[in-house]
Structure 1
Amino acid sequence: MKFGNRGRHAIAMGALVAASALALTGCAGGGASEGEAYDPDEEVTLTFTWWGNDDRAQRYQQLIDAFEAEHPNITIEGQFSDFPSYWEKRKTEAAGGGLPDVWQFSDSYLREYAEPGLLLDLETVSDFIDFDTFDDGLRSTGQLDGTQYSLPTGYSAWALFLNDGLVEQAGVEPYEGGTSYDEYTEWVASVTEATGGAVYGGTDLTQRIQNFENVLRADGKNLYTEDGELGFTEDELRDFWESGADARAVSIPQQRLEEITPKSGFGAGLTASEASWSNFLGGYLADSGAAHVSLVAPPTTDPDAKDLYRQAGLQVAISAKTEHPEAAALWLDYVVNSEEAGEIFGTTLGFPASETKLAGTTLEGVDAQVADYLESVADRIGDAPPVPVAGYGSLEQTFWDLGKEIGLGTLSVDDAVTEFFQEANVILG
């Protein structure tokens, strides 16, 4: 399959090309062209990368085609990979000074890439980007110390997904959402018992750092502070992991999940529920083959808390060393602001963060479902947390890995807590 203007840009499906190839074709040096006027007729080639699956790649290709039709002098060379490989690749490129011109970014890595000066200050190309289409809360998710380094493609909220067909087959009432964790665990147990374990009610929620985050936020805290430090204690983490003991007894066994990786229990049709970000709805439908998937509010420790927030983690940034900052800004603006992006992506990159992108989005089917869900949890939406600590992506993965070891029975909760804080101390210096 070919991607790009007149079929010239082949994307390696499912994997990025070797590090040396991208370093050679990327943006090695140059920086913003100070004092030089932008020439709209100059032939320019930009590298652009993202993480995701084939569906996302096909959508990006449609957007590339539309952009190149409007800007025939700019060629976009696209590449993508899965999420873990993507960030390993970026680390290699950052060390060698060859990040892509424009790249799909995550607010989890904002400190890590902005503080060393690897990202372009978008205000330097403000003539080519419309910032006014974002409200202050969403625009600020790409800021560090007042400097705009990235812009969000959309936003999501944490949600609980239900495979309606499996719930119906189990003969139990659907989980209503927004109850206590104990009540949710009772519902999970009812599904597992009703099916004799052929389908489990859910997956251990204490494996995901986002569920821990919700518990902290309900208590007025966050995962990290404004100063880039952890916002919780060893005792709080221990209590959280220990609270999952009853849920682990009735949820899908971790060993079963290891056997079906990289699919989740929900994606494989083995669990009736799973917690994740609301924009995953389309992917869950595709992976699970379910006729219908519902989104309901996740459980909470306080029904009156503002524990949820608009997570605008999926963003777009420009390398500080790009040789074509104006052209790169035009492409970034097209990704985050154009009506064409709204039409092509819908809510699959999050609910559109900009007014102009939203104007191009037809909210029907899955997209309408996501919109309805976001409206339904509006009373639980609070302020966004501080900018993630440097190395948050690694901490998130460590949290998940340790949670899985607890589920396998290969690591005690006490040892897991010790290992997490040891790793955090190394990452945070």
Structure 2
Amino acid sequence: MFRSSKRKAVIATAALALSGVLALSACSGGGADAGSGAFDPDADVTLNFAFWGNDVRADLYTQAIAAFNVEHPNITVNSTFLDFPAFWEKRQTEAAGGGLPDVMQFDYSYLRQYSESNLLLDLEPYFGDTIATDGLSEGILQIGVVNDVTTAIPTSTNAWGMFTNPKLMDSLGVEPYEGGGSWQDYSDWMESATAAGAEAGVYGGSDWTGRIQNFEIQLRSEGSFLFDDAGKAGFDKERLAEFWNEGAPVREEIGIPAQRVEELMPLSPFASAVATSELTWDNFGSGYLGSLGESYTELDLVAPPVTVEGSADLYLKPSMLHAVAATTEHPEASTILVDFLINSPEAGAIFGTNRGLPASETQLAGVELAGLDAQIRDYEATIADRLGDAPPVPITGFGTLENKFLLIGQELGYDTITVDEAVEQFFAEMDVVLN
């Protein structure tokens, strides 16, 4: 969740330079034209593929690439992975030099800025050829469209939720959190769990105001939004200050201390069995189980707190997408790999819901929805009455703002800035990024 001071300085510098970097790299050219007739499907090709995740996801991609090579032994895939912040730091550096990987796991937060900077290949010319679309609904395909150009395809969808650890709670004698309720209800439950886990060094959770998604669902419940597609903010300084002030008791007394969070990195407190709950996207479950180890075999997944009853505060988003660099020298081979990772039942059987519920019906057919996979499907059915329309493709610079929100959350946790200073910092960053 939080990063060291060195990492913080790197992100802050990259954030200031990001817009200029992408603008300069937008001139760096594009890949070979689709349908040029130059593609030999049997030629030996090497592709670079990058994704973010942990060792669990890395193992799944290793299996998926091995299955891909059974069908396409001539396409060598060199894969690399980093944690989420480091992944985007590296992509920013590569964008400046025109050296993005051929194929990338992509995040919705960055799609607009990379697309509008002409860094991603238009995939539509490959539809029906190297990319099958019969298993993808029009709504799913539209998720990856920016300014009428398809620059990415979702692998899967997910929703915001809360994971809790039943074994850990049982060992502490803590009653499970049932989901929903108010934010105060959640903080009260967290306080009781922290008190019960004091001797064992276990906490009820961490400061939920450090995640911009929790702010977003509060705004959505009030009929507002984070940003519209023109870059207008749906909140003012007073509303942001109110949100961060709500987290003061959690930061000061209830939640896991910021120093302890940093000691546990790169794992989160929940993935380390040091916290009994965590608010996050529902596809994180398998990664948590992998990190927790064999002694933990199940998790509970419940709805996040409610700000305004009856509101459509939640939504389904692409948990991730796949995109191809505009500069790739192998667009056809790259799109063949994208097609396999998105559509193949074999990949579905390997990943399950690690990347969320598969967006492609053909890939979903390969997934046996049992255990955690079925739990995620069932969870999304239980929140159907809270699901509203997804927000527009995030504004250019949203990923930078999301990182800044996390960094400010760290500073608030260390008590090195006040809430008023935090608000001024974030609005100053908004001014730099959006204007």
Common fold: TM-score over 0.5: yes
Q: Which residue of 1 aligns with 2:61?
A: 60
- Structure 1 residue 73: deviation in Å? 2.9
Secondary structure of residue in 2 paired with 1:265: coil
Alignment deviations for residues 85-104 of structure 1 (CA, whole Å, 9 cap, x no partner): 22122111111112111111
Aligned twin of 1:292: 298
2:272–2:292: 8 Å Cα contact kept in structure 1?
yes
The residue that corresponds to 1:275 in the other structure is 279
Q: Which residue of 1 aligns with 2:12?
A: none
Displacement after TM superposition at 1:327 (Å): 1.7
The 1-side partners of 2:164 and 2:362 are apart by 32
**Are 2:172 and 1:174 equivalent residues in the alignment?**
no
1:34 is displaced (CA, Å) by 6.0
Corresponding residue to 1:400 among 400, 403, 406: 406
- Quick one: distance in 1 between partners of 2:76 and 2:259? 47
Tell me what 2:248 maps to. Answer: 245
Distance apart, 1:365 and its partner CA: 1.7
Q: Distance in 1 between matches of 2:223 and 2:136?
A: 27
SS of residue matched to 1:120: coil
Q: Contact (CA 8 Å) 1:405, 1:411: kept in 2 or not?
A: yes
- Kept in 1, the 8 Å contact 2:209–2:215? The answer is yes
Give the alignment's TM-score, normalised by structure 1.
0.89
Report how far residue 323 of structure 1 moved: 2.0
Determine helix, strand or coil for the equivalent of 2:118: coil
Deviations 1:270-312 (A, max 9, x none): 2111111111111112223434210010101023111111120
- 1:179-190 equivalent positions in 2, closer than 5 A: 179-190=181-192
Q: Which residue does the alignment assign to 2:133?
A: 131
Matching residue's letter, 1:207:
G
State yes or no: 1:207 paired with 2:227. Answer: no
- Tell me if the contact between 2:144 and 2:152 (Cα under 8 Å) persists in the aligned partners: yes
Give the one of 323, 348, 352 matched to 2:354. 348
Report the CA distance shift for 1:73/1:256 in structure 2 as closer, same or farther (over 3 A): closer
1:104 aligns with 2:108: no
Q: CA deviation at 1:29?
A: 6.1
Q: Is the 8 A contact 2:108 2:318 kept in 1?
A: yes
Instruction: Name the counterpart of 2:425.
Output: 419
Aligned-partner Cα distance in 2 for 1:57–1:262: 15
Q: How many residues align?
A: 403
**1:330-349 counterparts in 2 under 5 A?**
330-349=336-355
Residue 20 of structure 1 aligns with which residue?
Answer: none
1:293-312 map, 5 Å: 293-312=299-318
Q: Out of 136, 140, 143, which is 1:141 matched to?
A: 143
Between the aligned partners of 2:237 and 2:135, the Cα distance in structure 1 is 41
Which segments of structure 1 move beyond 6 Å, counting only runs of 4 or more?
none
Q: Which among 325, 330, 334 is matched to residue 324 of structure 1?
A: 330
Which 5+ residue runs of structure 2 have no aligned equivalent?
1-27
- TM-score norm. by structure 2 comes to 0.88
CA contact (8 A) 1:32 1:324 kept: no
| 3-state DSSP of counterpart to 2:317 | coil
- In structure 1, C-alpha distance between the alignment counterparts of 2:289 and 2:60, rounded to whole Å: 17
Distance in 2, matches of 1:295 and 1:122, equals: 35
Shift of 1:64: 1.4
Per-residue CA deviation, residues 361-418 of structure 1 (Å, 9 max, x unaligned), is: 1111221222221222122111111111212111111101111211221110000000
Which of 162, 171, 179 pairs up with 2:164? 162
Partner in structure 2 of residue 263 of structure 1: 267
Question: 2:292 and 2:38 mapped to 1: Cα distance?
Answer: 51
Deviates more, 1:295-304 or 1:39-48: 39-48
Q: Which runs of 5+ in 1 are unaligned?
A: 1-26
Change (3 A) 1:194 1:346: same
Q: Which has the higher contact order (CA 8 A, sep 6+)?
A: 2
In structure 1, what is the Cα distance between the partners aligned to 2:47 and 2:202?
A: 47
1:95-136 CA distance string (max 9 Å, x none): 111211111111111121111111111112122212232233
Q: In the TM superposition, what is the alpha-carbon distance from 1:268 to its structure 2 partner?
A: 2.1
| Contact 1:32–1:320, Cα closer than 8 Å, also in 2 | no
3-state secondary structure, aligned to 2:57: helix
**1:70 counterpart residue number:** 71
CA distance in 2, matches of 1:353, 1:75: 26
1:323-369 residue CA offsets vs partner (Å, 9 max, x unmatched): 22222111111111111110110000111111011001111122122
Contact 1:33 1:323 in 2 (8 A): no
Residues 155 and 342 in structure 2, CA contact (< 8 A), matched pair in contact too:
yes
How big is the shift at 1:30? Answer: 4.8
Within-5 A mapping of 1:15-30: 30=31
Distance of 1:98 and 1:201 partners within structure 2: 43
User: By how many angstroms is 1:142 displaced?
Assistant: 1.1
